[in-house]
C-alpha cells in the first residue's frame, strides 16, 4: 500500500505533463533518542517533466535533504521516490539519471574549461568524437566558446558557475538538482544568472529542481514553488499563486512584504467574508482556506495593494499616523501605526509628514483571510 499523502504536501502535476519525479510519504530523520531530528515528515510531491520547480524555505526546513534523497546521497526512512515512473531507492547515485550542481562548483583547476565539461562523459567511456561534439554544444549553450582553453582558476565566479552547469548538463540527465548554486555570487551577477538558468532549462527541456532560501530567486525562475517549513511542504503553486494566494500565515509572511493584522470575521457571502478591522472599519476579504468560521482571524494584504488617503476619507478601511517613510528608489515604504499599535506598510510614490494622520484604502479583492 502506498504511503498516505498529506493534503497540503501533494503538488499536483501540470495538466497534460508527465510526472518526472514523485515523492510519496517520504520521511527522513537524523540522530537517535532525544537528539533525533525529523528532517522530512511524510512529504509527498510531484514534479513534472520539463519543469523548473523550486524548493523554498528557511535553513533547516528539509529542502536540501529532499534534494539529497532524489540524488541518492541519503536514503529515506519511510516512503519512496520515483523517477520517470521507476522506484529508485535501490540505485546508487552514479546509476541515477540525475546530476547535481552544489554551492561549491568543485571544478578541476588544472584542467581547461572544455576538459572540465567533458570529464564526466570521458569517465562514462563515451567515444572521443561524442565527447568533443557534446562539449562544443555545451560551450555554446552557456556562451563560453571563446574560453574553451582557459583554465577554470582563471575564471570569475559567474563563469565558473556556467562551467559547472555545462558539465552537469553534458550527459543530458533527466533531472538536474541545484543546491543554492547562486549563493556565492554578488547581487548583480546573481540576477543575471537567474535569467541564464531559466534560459538553460527552457532550451534543454530538462527538469530542474532548485533549492534556495531566497524568495526573489524562486519567484523569478520557477514554474512552480514548493514552500517548506519544519520538514513539511506547506504549499505548492505557481509564483503568482504563492504570492497572491498564500495558504497560511507562514507562507504569506515568508514570501515578499505583507501586512498581517488581527480582525474579526462577521459573516461569509458569495463575494467573500465581511471582516471588522482594527479601529472598527469594515471590509470584504477573500477566503481561500477551508473551514474558516466567524470569529477572530488574521487578514493580510500586500503593501502595493494599499493606498494612502486623507484621514477623513470615507474610502479608508483603516486609519493611523505616519511613523516613518523609507525611500527605495522607485517609491516609498510608508510605515503607518494604527491606534492599537499595529504597524502596516503602504507602498506609495507620495507620503505625508511623519506623525500626520492618514487613511488607508484597499484595492478591491486584495485583502484575504489567512489560515494560521
pLDDT of the chain, 372 residues: tens digit per residue: 333 333 333 445 455 679 999 999 999 999 888 889 999 999 999 999 999 999 999 999 999 999 999 999 999 999 999 999 999 988 999 899 999 988 777 888 888 999 999 988 888 889 999 999 999 998 998 888 999 999 988 888 888 888 888 888 988 999 999 998 887 778 887 888 888 889 889 999 999 999 999 998 999 999 999 999 999 999 999 999 999 999 888 999 999 899 998 999 988 888 888 999 988 889 999 987 667 788 899 999 999 999 999 999 989 999 999 999 998 887 889 999 998 889 999 999 887 888 899 999 999 999 999 876
Sequence-distant (≥ 6) Cβ neighbours of residue 195 within 8 angstroms:
220
- Quick check: 338 and 300 in contact, CB under 8 A? no
Residues 245 and 263 in one domain: no
Does the residue 276 lie in any domain? yes
CATH code of the domain containing 185? 3.40.50.300
Q: Measuring CA to CA, which residue among 41, 45, 40, 51 is closest to residue 10?
A: 45
Does the residue 325 lie in any domain? yes
Residues 335 and 221 in one domain: no
- Quick check: 179 and 187 in contact, CB under 8 A? no
Residues 276 and 351 in one domain: yes
Grid cell of 205 as nine digits: 527541456
Rounded Cα–Cα distance for residues 96 and 82 (Å)? 11
Partnered with residue 299 across adjacent β-strands are 261, 369
Does the residue 131 lie in any domain? no
Does the residue 309 lie in any domain? yes
Does the residue 155 lie in any domain? no
Residues 197 and 79 in one domain: yes
Rounded Cα–Cα distance for residues 366 and 2 (Å)? 40
Tell me which H or E stretch contains 51: none
Residues 92 and 229 in one domain: yes
How many domains is the chain built from?
A: 2
Residues 199 and 300 in one domain: no
Residues 43 and 178 in one domain: yes
E strand map for the chain: 19-30, 37-48, 52-56, 78-83, 86-87, 98-101, 175-179, 207-212, 224-229, 232-237, 259-269, 272-276, 282-287, 295-301, 306-309, 318-327, 332-338, 343-348, 357-362, 368-370
Residues 183 and 278 in one domain: no
Give residue 342's domain range.
259-370
Amino acid at each position: 500500500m502506498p504511503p498516505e499523502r498529506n493534503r497540503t504536501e501533494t503538488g499536483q502535476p501540470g495538466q497534460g505533463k508527465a510526472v518526472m519525479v514523485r515523492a510519496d510519504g517520504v520521511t527522513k530523520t537524523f540522530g537517535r533518542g532525544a537528539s533525533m531530528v525529523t528532517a522530512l515528515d511524510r512529504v509527498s510531491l510531484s514534479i513534472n517533466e520539463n519543469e523548473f520547480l523550486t524548493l523554498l524555505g528557511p535553513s533547516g526546513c528539509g529542502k536540501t535533504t529532499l534534494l539529497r534523497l532524489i540524488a541518492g546521497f541519503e536514503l529515506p526512512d519511510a516512503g519512496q521516490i520515483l523517477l520517470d515512473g521507476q522506484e529508485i531507492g535501490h540505485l546508487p547515485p552514479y546509476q541515477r539519471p540525475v546530476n547535481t550542481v552544489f554551492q561549491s562548483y568543485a571544478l578541476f583547476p588544472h584542467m581547461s574549461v572544455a576538459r572540465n565539461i567533458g570529464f564526466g562523459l570521458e569517465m562514462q567511456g563515451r567515444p572521443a568524437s561524442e565527447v568533443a561534439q557534446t562539449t562544443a554544444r555545451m560551450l555554446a549553450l552557456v556562451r563560453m566558446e571563446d574560453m574553451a582553453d582557459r583554465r577554470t582558476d582563471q575564471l570569475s565566479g559567474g563563469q565558473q558557475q556556467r562551467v559547472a552547469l555545462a558539465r552537469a548538463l553534458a550527459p543530458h540527465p533527466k533531472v538536474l538538482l541545484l543546491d543554492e548554486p547562486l549563493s556565492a555570487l554578488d547581487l548583480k551577477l546573481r540576477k543575471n544568472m537567474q535569467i541564464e538558468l531559466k534560459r538553460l532549462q527552457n532550451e534543454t527541456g530538462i527538469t530542474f529542481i532548485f533549492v534556495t532560501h531566497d524568495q526573489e530567486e524562486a519567484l523569478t525562475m520557477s514554474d512552480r514553488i514548493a514552500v517548506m517549513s519544519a520538514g513539511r511542504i506547506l504549499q505548492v503553486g505557481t509564483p503568482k499563486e504563492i504570492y497572491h494566494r498564500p495558504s497560511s500565515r507562514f507562507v504569506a509572511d515568508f514570501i515578499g512584504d505583507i501586512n498581517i493584522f488581527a480582525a474579526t470575521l462577521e459573516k461569509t457571502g458569495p463575494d467573500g467574508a465581511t471582516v471588522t478591522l482594527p479601529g472598527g472599519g469594515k471590509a470584504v476579504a477573500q477566503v481561500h482556506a477551508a473551514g474558516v468560521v466567524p470569529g477572530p482571524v488574521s487578514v493580510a494584504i500586500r503593501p502595493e495593494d494599499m493606498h494612502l488617503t486623507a484621514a477623513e476619507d470615507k474610502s479608508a478601511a483603516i486609519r493611523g499616523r505616519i511613523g516613518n517613510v523609507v525611500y527605495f528608489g522607485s517609491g516609498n515604504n510608508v510605515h503607518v501605526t494604527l491606534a492599537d499599535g499595529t504597524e502596516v506598510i503602504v507602498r506609495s510614490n507620495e507620503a505625508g509628514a511623519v506623525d500626520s494622520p492618514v487613511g488607508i484604502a484597499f484595492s478591491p479583492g486584495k485583502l484575504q483571510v489567512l489560515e494560521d
